[in-house]
């Protein structure tokens, strides 16, 4: 039997997190959630996660971006896929409507906007996990 994929959500909105957790648990994922960027990053460093779901605007500003950058610079964490979930895509300067996040600005694998459609969330999570698993298998095979 294959183990459940383990996901970490870092988002400062408890109501949003509760809804996302319900959707993902129903799809049989193991979920941990942290409600501030510092706790979230420490949890990520201590744990073993298959995917990170990350809010952009938390705490003093765009702290989700800082977490994504820290992950990209950390050898042990940089292979964890990141799904950015934000309600502010059109209101922050580094995300432009209809355009993907510039890859050199922030390491991210995918971005979706709040409110999140459950089917779209599950599709993105499944795709990111599958892609990460394929990359890992290729790296181990070389």
Class of domain 6-141: alpha beta
Q: How far apart are CA 108 and CA 83, in angstroms?
A: 7
Enter the pTM of the model: 0.85
Radius of gyration (C-alpha) of the chain in whole angstroms? 14
pLDDT digits (tens, 9 = 90+) for 65-123: 889 889 988 999 989 999 998 876 544 444 444 444 444 445 567 888 888 999 999 99
């Amino acid at each position: 039997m294959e183990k459940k994929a383990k996901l970490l959500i870092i988002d400062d909105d408890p109501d949003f997190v509760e809804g996302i957790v319900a959707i993902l648990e129903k799809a049989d994922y193991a979920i941990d959630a942290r409600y501030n960027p510092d706790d979230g990053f420490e949890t990520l460093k201590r744990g073993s996660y298959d995917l990170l779901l990350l809010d952009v605007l938390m705490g003093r500003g765009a702290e989700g971006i800082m977490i994504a950058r820290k992950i990209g610079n950390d050898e042990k964490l940089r292979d964890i896929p990141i799904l950015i979930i934000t309600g502010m895509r059109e209101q922050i300067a580094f995300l432009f409507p209809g355009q993907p996040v510039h890859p050199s600005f922030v390491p991210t694998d995918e971005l979706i906007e709040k409110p999140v459609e459950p089917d779209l969330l599950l599709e993105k999570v499944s795709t990111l996990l599958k892609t990460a698993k394929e990359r890992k298998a290729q790296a181990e095979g070389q």
